[in-house]
Structure 1
């Protein structure tokens, strides 16, 4: 082999080694950044869960004082038992951050004070309900303390967002530098290899050269298509995550602002009703209609909040949330909805729970709109390989071409949720009869990755 050919081969190998080294360095930095991202997102998720817990306690107390129904105290008692464990989780996640430890200590102090005041208002309200007596002053003090707790949580969430953004910029800068160097070495390597190829393959005919060029172009096009597909998949999954976070934020804001105002209006109207003289019958009738409309508004607010972010899912688990949604579906549509769930699934990862719930929610919506079914059956079961959800109806079925339409956003959203969880999703016809089966499955092997 001629000396100049050997030199070209050595240079090519050296460039490939440099390129591989840069790739290894870049992958290591990416793994480290991913760990930081995961930690920050875990802190945000724990903060969100903690806020949901204390909000549930406050909602339970308000519901009990307004209606006198002890059923509203169930989420309150659940929150009383679990808020400290959520704080301990946050304390563990931020063990190396002194400022965060101080924030968590403040959260613990203010939350304990707020919970104590909520408990005191319940004990000082022996006859709650629309016509009873409620500790308004104590409730306002508890709400003020809860506002301080929410303020600390919102600030910590904002700081975590800022930290994530700073990490993102740093990773982007590193990727640009590493990518530029890798691109440079790749270009040089390709140039050297092309030169070597010309030296060794001068006798190749023009047609073979054209075929090789076409093959390279096709390969580049395939890589570009794969890259664009991966980017679109990541974008879709990001939009799903952002959508869930935005729905949760809107639900919290509606609960905190509109809930407080409606509670105050209800108390004032009841106060006026108790003090009206007997002779003003027309005024009393109008006031009664106003109270009835206010009650309907409170129920509408609850339905809107539950549609944005089901509180049952966060506080009472997936099985309870599914049962509640099935009952509401039957009430609205008149279609019987049978739910087959043999356990509570309280240990299920929250990301799994919201994915299964949203798929069931979207499927029931599609059934009500298009299926012309007479009954619906939902099966949620744990299998050896993971957890499986099936939604079965006896309607007219769905055509294959309808599933591939660009405007089938509901189907695309359900499929992307399962892809985000590392699971599988399919829509198929039953083996016998008419109807549709929507099936989602998440393998148990993804549990560790999702909880990281």
Structure 2
């Protein structure tokens, strides 16, 4: 009978979907791929069964209409199972179980459609049976033929019903095996597995929880948090976490501490809401993993990093202080040397110049032929005096001490222009710059080093130097349009000039930045000092 074949095919189809759903749950709870075999089998079976149903339906509009609704629902359910499996791999069991729970709605719709199909087919089978009865009654007149047909009909029905019961018994047996396996996994894991009702009462606990609290399952089942967690603050925090899971209807993962017998342990707890067939929340399911050792290792690593950071900061401060000390010693030594050159060599050179000029005057009257040579000696003496002055200015700019930073910079730029042939664009304030002498010297050295680097390496055509003062800071900028400096060169330990400039500025709480110039050409050196730490008049 075609109706019964359709019913049998529907039973096989629904059985394969139940097997796939059961395998999905087993895989999500255990993570073992062996539970996916029913799902894999179902993916190959259900298209064949659907095609068989379409063939059996023929031109029956009602059955075809139900099959049209059934096919996308099955595809959607199989897709939700695949989605849950992929989430389990990428995001973990909690997200996967949440995705799996969404498939319950689809499965309920599948059961509704298949139920309607079975009811319709059963009705058609009843009609067919009624017709067969009428035919049997007519054929009963022909006694032997009617009896034979009745026996055959009974035999066919018996086999159909027997096949149904065998399939149902097989499905129930497989479901019992799956449940037994899930129970074995829950019983053997070291993680805490528990189920609570909406009021927070424990409905199920695994041996790991019983072992942790030193209680039997009977002592824990039916208890609320305050009844088995001694610390009321911990119990309240966990209760609030449970309420959040129930109110948001979403899985939540959080760290929580639980003190048992005076020992505080840290748990990574994942909880997901538990729904009934109608979608109402009937509690929550939770899995907690003890991560106490991991947290202790993290705290130890953090403490070690803090100690290391403190040591680095201390060493950096010591090296910075040493650098500043060496710079001060160097500047003091330069000042001492400049003073000696001015006092000792200066008087000698001055005497040579005066005597050479006196001799030149006398030679004009007594030995004219020696005047030219003596003029050369006078010029060399004047050059020596100028060299002496430049050396002294390089060691300790006297103009900086006597007239301030702006005047000293202008004088140095005049000398630099005479040497390089490049006339920098200058932008200086008209009034005196409010800087202490040491801070002014630091900015002077930055400008000196920057201009020296431009002359040596930049191959620049234009140079701009600017000094700006605000109520809180003073900024020196030296910029050129040359070849620039690479980031690799800036990071080299051998970049002593830049490192020295940065240390000088840092000694007064300032910053020095090196970047590309305008239109990404050349180099811009920018030194900024706070007036709070570098104030004075320069």
Q: Are 2:459 and 1:372 equivalent residues in the alignment?
A: yes
Q: CA distance change for structure 1 residues 442 and 335 in 2, over 3 Å: closer, same or farther?
A: same
Residue 335 of structure 1: aligned partner? 422
**Matched-pair contact (CA < 8 Å) for 1:273–1:287:** yes
In the aligned structure 1, how far is the partner of 2:431 from the partner of 2:296?
65
Residue 128 of structure 2: aligned partner? none
Query: Match of 2:519, SS?
Result: coil
**Matched-pair contact (CA < 8 Å) for 1:386–1:443:** yes
**Matched-pair contact (CA < 8 Å) for 1:394–1:435:** yes
Query: Match of 2:529, SS?
Result: strand
The alpha-carbon deviation at position 261 of structure 1 amounts to: 0.8
Show structure 1 runs of 5+ residues with no match: 1-198
Is the strand fraction higher in 1 or 2? 2
Residue 491 of structure 2: aligned partner? 404
The 5 A counterparts of 1:145-224 are 213-224=300-311
In the aligned structure 2, how far is the partner of 1:229 from the partner of 1:447?
22
The alpha-carbon deviation at position 385 of structure 1 amounts to: 2.8
Q: Are 2:314 and 1:227 equivalent residues in the alignment?
A: yes
Query: Match of 2:365, SS?
Result: coil
Q: Are 2:505 and 1:418 equivalent residues in the alignment?
A: yes
Residues 83-118 of structure 1, C-alpha deviations (whole Å, 9 max, x = no match): xxxxxxxxxxxxxxxxxxxxxxxxxxxxxxxxxxxx
Residue 335 of structure 2: aligned partner? 248
Residue 392 of structure 1: aligned partner? 479
Q: Are 2:462 and 1:360 equivalent residues in the alignment?
A: no
Residue 302 of structure 1: aligned partner? 389
The 5 A counterparts of 1:316-327 are 316-327=403-414
**Matched-pair contact (CA < 8 Å) for 1:320–1:344:** no
The 5 A counterparts of 1:38-117 are none
Query: Match of 1:242, SS?
Result: helix
In the aligned structure 2, how far is the partner of 1:310 from the partner of 1:202?
69
**Matched-pair contact (CA < 8 Å) for 1:327–1:337:** no
Q: Are 2:325 and 1:238 equivalent residues in the alignment?
A: yes
**Matched-pair contact (CA < 8 Å) for 1:336–1:374:** no
**Matched-pair contact (CA < 8 Å) for 1:318–1:344:** no
**Matched-pair contact (CA < 8 Å) for 2:364–2:371:** no
Backbone CA RMSD of aligned residues: 2.5
Q: CA distance change for structure 1 residues 240 and 269 in 2, over 3 Å: closer, same or farther?
A: same
**Matched-pair contact (CA < 8 Å) for 2:508–2:534:** no
Give the structure with higher Rg (CA): 2
In the aligned structure 2, how far is the partner of 1:200 from the partner of 1:371?
71
Residues 143-177 of structure 1, C-alpha deviations (whole Å, 9 max, x = no match): xxxxxxxxxxxxxxxxxxxxxxxxxxxxxxxxxxx
Q: CA distance change for structure 1 residues 295 and 425 in 2, over 3 Å: closer, same or farther?
A: same
**Matched-pair contact (CA < 8 Å) for 2:467–2:474:** yes
The alpha-carbon deviation at position 209 of structure 1 amounts to: 6.1
- After superposing the two structures, state which structure 1 stretch, 232-241 or 218-227, moved more: 218-227
Q: Are 2:400 and 1:313 equivalent residues in the alignment?
A: yes
In the aligned structure 2, how far is the partner of 1:310 from the partner of 1:263?
20
Show structure 2 runs of 5+ residues with no match: 1-260, 267-291
**Matched-pair contact (CA < 8 Å) for 2:508–2:533:** yes
Residue 435 of structure 2: aligned partner? 348
**Matched-pair contact (CA < 8 Å) for 1:317–1:344:** no
Q: CA distance change for structure 1 residues 415 and 273 in 2, over 3 Å: closer, same or farther?
A: same
Query: Match of 1:278, SS?
Result: helix
Query: Match of 1:396, SS?
Result: coil
In the aligned structure 1, how far is the partner of 2:369 from the partner of 2:381?
18
Query: Match of 2:512, SS?
Result: strand
Is the helix fraction higher in 1 or 2? 1
Q: CA distance change for structure 1 residues 379 and 281 in 2, over 3 Å: closer, same or farther?
A: same
In the aligned structure 1, how far is the partner of 2:319 from the partner of 2:415?
35
Q: Are 2:379 and 1:292 equivalent residues in the alignment?
A: yes
The alpha-carbon deviation at position 282 of structure 1 amounts to: 3.3
Residue 266 of structure 1: aligned partner? 353
Query: Match of 1:380, SS?
Result: strand
The alpha-carbon deviation at position 246 of structure 1 amounts to: 1.1
Q: Are 2:493 and 1:441 equivalent residues in the alignment?
A: no
**Matched-pair contact (CA < 8 Å) for 1:418–1:442:** yes
